[in-house]
Amino acid sequence: MRTSRVAVLATGVVFAALVAVFVVSDGDTDVGARSPLLGAPAPAVVTSTVDDAPFDLARRKGSWVVLNFFNSTCVPCIAEHPSLVDFVADEAGRADRAEFYTVVNDDSDEAINGFFAAKGGDWPKLRDTDGAVAVAFGVAKVPETWIIDPNGFVRLRIIGAVNDGVLEAQMARLRAGDQ
């Protein structure tokens, strides 16, 4: 009898603990993924483009910056590409247009140039030869897309392919001052 009461009590305690864990855990939002970098200054990114132009993320303060981690053989990257092209075209008409950059993940300059020549996308492509940029942002798999505000703070992380209109909606939300 006592054993059964103890068993019931123990089960209740375990169940309550589980509920507590679920309650205090942060859930992912519909689009944005979690990262300790959200709301923090963006990591340093000092590299060059595949056209050998220097790039320093700290020098882009004053502009919204979108970083898209990409590999030319990754299927979701290829799938999201038309959405990215549309997003950049939409932004081009704005005075506060977001600057869009591809961060090349484990891929060659030749493959990248070939992909963009075939599929379009006239924006800078940043080298990440030893993966330092990916590690700094905690990117394990591509595609991932990050948005950094004009003060240099990380504002959004999207894991996986972005669908049509998602980046546009997220940029509008961020520009309006929503968190």
Could you tell me which of 143, 137, 140, 170 has the C-alpha nearest to residue 159? 143
Return residues touching another protein (CB under 8 A).
21, 35-37, 41, 44, 54, 58-64, 95-97, 99, 105-106, 130-132, 134-138, 140-141, 150-153
Choice between 118 and 177, CB closer to another protein: 177
The CB-of-125 to another protein minimum distance in angstroms stands at: 16
* C-alpha dihedral, 115 to 66 to 37 to 44, nearest 10°: 80
Choice between 150 and 160, CB closer to another protein: 150
Distance of CA 86 to the CA centre of its chain: 18
Q: Which two tokens stand for residue 60?
A: 């882009």
The full length of the chain comes to 179
User: For 100, how many CA atoms within 13 A lie in the half-sphere containing its CB?
Assistant: 21
Choice between 21 and 176, CB closer to another protein: 21
Choice between 62 and 120, CB closer to another protein: 62
Choice between 138 and 160, CB closer to another protein: 138
The CB-of-31 to another protein minimum distance in angstroms stands at: 19
**Cα separation, 121 vs 81, whole angstroms:** 8
The CB-of-53 to another protein minimum distance in angstroms stands at: 9
**Cα separation, 133 vs 11, whole angstroms:** 46
Amino acid at 89: A
The CB-of-82 to another protein minimum distance in angstroms stands at: 25
The CB-of-86 to another protein minimum distance in angstroms stands at: 20
